[in-house]
Structure 1
């Protein structure tokens, strides 16, 4: 009986551990987008979605994608990627496709980059 209980406990621990290992899947959206990041002066300001902006979160502004869209943003120069949530509209500067929070941008950019070429993939 004790062996059965021990087995059941071990089995449930293994099931719980395996349940969290699901990887998100992504579909290509834009293979050659230009990304930049928000200036610090926008911290605390309201975004188009109504959320308060923070440069220390993983968020982004995009002109068309719905708020709440999860995007995998990959720097095409070094292969580093980050997942962000669209919560604002923009960028409104010609030639730019996405604004990232400073935290997200710095995680995938090389030192001293002000803009980078990225690929965008939407989480399914």
Structure 2
């Protein structure tokens, strides 16, 4: 169902951004609990906090984050309520990125309610 009223779409998007701002990377489908989250590496993998900014018409954009990850293949990004632990909010399939050695993956989150 598409939401016809732009103000309603924006209100929903703004509420969504209030759920969490910590971005994660995953080596497989995280399901509904955030499984397959990256770990290890030097520097060590850690979730990164995005800064949400509102737009209009149901769009919220986050600042780009740079996440250090060990060698592996990364297929999903996630959103959490905290830097560690916390509540798993959502996931998105990303372009599969395979790293043969320690590296960095850039993620720029956005939310669009239509």
TM-score, normalized by the shorter chain, greater than 0.5: no
TM normalised by structure 1 equals 0.25
Q: Going by fraction, where is strand more abundant, 1 or 2?
A: 2
Higher helix share: 1
Using CA pairs below 8 Å that are at least 6 residues apart, which structure has the higher relative contact order? 1
TM-score (norm 2): 0.26
From the CA coordinates, give the structure whose radius of gyration is larger. 1
